[in-house]
Amino acid sequence: MINNETNPEDKLHSQQVYVCDDALAERQLACLEVLYDFNHTRPSEIAKRAELMQQLFAEIGEGCYIEPPLHANWGKHTHLGRNVYVNFNLTLVDDTHIYIGSNVMIGPNVTIATAGHPIDPLLRQQVTQFNIPVTIGNNVWIGASCVILPGVSIGDNTVIGAGSIVTKDIPSNVVAMGNPCRVSREINDYDKKYYHKGRKYL
């Protein structure tokens, strides 16, 4: 069944399949205008970027920093906690809600996608899609070039290795990596002594 809600934006959050129509595309223009301004700020215009992020996102805590360029479908469906650091070229396919906790680090070239499309080719011809929220916990580190797919939750303190494709939920306090992303091990006392491939803290 295809969702035929009369309010175009109600379709976005229903988690049901709907038709992407011109009314939705028109409403996205406000986000794209703010993104244009954000991505064309000069490196020294930190205060201006912070002001534009307040306009763009549903919520943004203190101490957040996002390196341009940033890409988003809506912006207003993304929620950020405090002290979130984002390296360049984050893509937010936020057709429904993306929740990012506090003290999160996101490496370059990461994609967080809430939207998917039916496998059935006839439905895809009708320009249909569905959206399922993504949740990222507190103190998570997402490595470079990761892709996080619709409906995924990542628990607190977890590290997602670079290049991972996260298709299923990942629990708290683990290191996970790969395509598809799987838990490699728990974070433990070893990580208090060594920081990278047997290299000890001084």
Q: Identify whether 117 is a catalytic site residue.
A: yes
Q: Helix/strand/coil (H, E, C) string of 79-112?
A: EECCCCEECCCEEEECCCCEEECCCCEECCCCEE
- Phi, psi (degrees; rounded to nearest 5) at 113: -120, 125
User: Which residue has 């988690």 as its token pair?
Assistant: 15
Tokens of 122: 């006839």
- SS3 state of residue 13: coil
Tokens of 155: 């628990």
- Answer whether 108's CB lies under 8 Å from 128's CB: no
Looking at 13, 77, 97, 117, which residue is catalytic? 117
Would you mind telling me the total number of residues written for the chain in this entry?
Answer: 202
> What is d(CA 43, CA 65) in angstroms, rounded to the nearest whole number?
12
Any idea which residues carry the catalytic annotation? 117
